[in-house]
Every structure is written in C-alpha cells, then in structure tokens.
Chain A
Amino acid sequence: SQELEQSPQSLIVQEGKNLTINCTSSKTLYGLYWYKQKYGEGLIFLMMLQKGGEEKSHEKITAKLDEKKQQSSLHITASQPSHAGIYLCGADIKSSGTYKYIFGTGTRLKVLA
C-alpha cells in the first residue's frame, strides 16, 4: 500500500473555482514538500512545511500541515489555466531509524477556461 496517499487522483475545475488536494500518511511527516509537474517535464518545488500547524502561501496557493503532522492540504484559490499540471507531495518519514523520502502518486489538475 502507498505510504503517502494523495487525493483526488484527478481534478477538473472551471477557471476561477477553488480546489483542495490532500496528502495523508499513517506515519509522522518530518518534512512535507509540494511539487508541481507540467506534463512530461521536471518537478518544480513549491513549498516545504516542517512544523505541525504550519501554513504557507505563495500567490494563490496555500499549503497546510496538520498539528499531528500526518496530513497536508494544498489549496488553490481562484484557479487559472496556468495552475494545470500534476501536483505531488513528498515527505520525509522515519523508516528503520533513518529518514526516507517518499512521494504520493500525484493529482492531475485540469483547469477549464
């Protein structure tokens, strides 16, 4: 089973609508990262969250990490076609005493103009 579950798998929204993508783990997330990938291209780092309850914003994108550090959400306000792409969460978890970096399977976002 996936250690980092992302939902939804895909999302189609009308331009101007708000949307939320979730990233959940059964383990403590020591560092939580959000990336955006344009189709067939590299991943671009968006934001990093470290502390429980932390929230960061950049332009119209807000990311939060819950107090228990097991769930993060990415919220896009007033979506635009430029927001389209694949959003992936990545996280550091502890496995057998060492940090391991894992990824969610991604959320494919399409924004209709």
Chain B
Amino acid sequence: EAQVTQNPRYLITVTGKKLTVTCSQNMNHEYMSWYRQDPGLGLRQIYYSMNVEVTDKGDVPEGYKVSRKEKRNFPLILESPSPNQTSLYFCASSWDRGYNSPLHFGNGTRLTVT
C-alpha cells in the first residue's frame, strides 16, 4: 500500500531533550516536506527536500533540522525542543514540486514539550 509513515504518533518530552521524528514513503517520491499545524495558523512548512541531499528551509525552520540521505526517508530533528514547538507535525511527499502534484500526508505526530 502506498503510504507515508510517521513515527511516533504521540510524543511527550521535556525542554532540551533531543528528539527525532521519522518519516518514510514507499512511493519513490522525489519531494518531501515537513509541516506543523497549530490552531488558527493552519499548516506551516518547516523544511522541504526536492531530492536526496537537497533540503531547504520553509516558512518556520527555526529550531528544526532535517536530512535526506535516502530518497524514502526524511527525519525531522529537534536538537533542543522548547514548549513553543508543541504542535501537530505532518510529513508529506509528492512526485515533484512543480505544479499539479498532490501531496500525500502521514498520519501526524502530536508533540508536547513540557
């Protein structure tokens, strides 16, 4: 089954404790992206990757890191999480990021930082 898989679904952590949210897609998509969703602010892009070893900042990259060593995986790293990073995170992928290429989303990771 074609899908984007994120783990974990739920994560509670403390300020400053490094964490990684994994994302994997099995559709051979070139483009992958991370979003956070907050009430009243909608979906905001954190980082994206056009292909292996090619990553770029989205609208809200501060406090996050990503890597794209393989086509299928695009982990999101929070080196020193803070409470303002409490949010619902989504990984998404598509064939490319020209136009007319719908995004396929993972089921989300709900992160709470205390």
Contact = CB atoms under 8 A, between A and B. Distances in A.
Interface of A: 2, 30-31, 33, 35, 40-45, 48, 50, 88, 90, 92, 99, 101, 103-106
B99 A45 contact: no
A104 B98 CA distance: 19
B99 A103 contact: no
A104 B42 contact: yes
Interface stretch (B66-74, B76-84, B104-112): B104-112
Contact of B88 (A35, A40, A106): A40
B108 A41 contact: yes
Instruction: Report whether over half of chain A's contact residues are helix, strand or loop; otherwise say mixed.
Output: strand
A77 B35 CA distance: 31
B18 to A, nearest CB: 25
A84 B102 CA distance: 22
Nearest to B90: A42
Nearest to B44: A103
8 shortest A-B CB distances, which residue pairs? Answer: A92-B99, A105-B42, A42-B107, A31-B99, A30-B99, A43-B105, A42-B105, A103-B43
B108 A40 contact: yes
Contact of A31 (B101, B105, B106): B101
B34 to A, nearest CB: 13
Contact of B103 (A40, A41, A45): A45
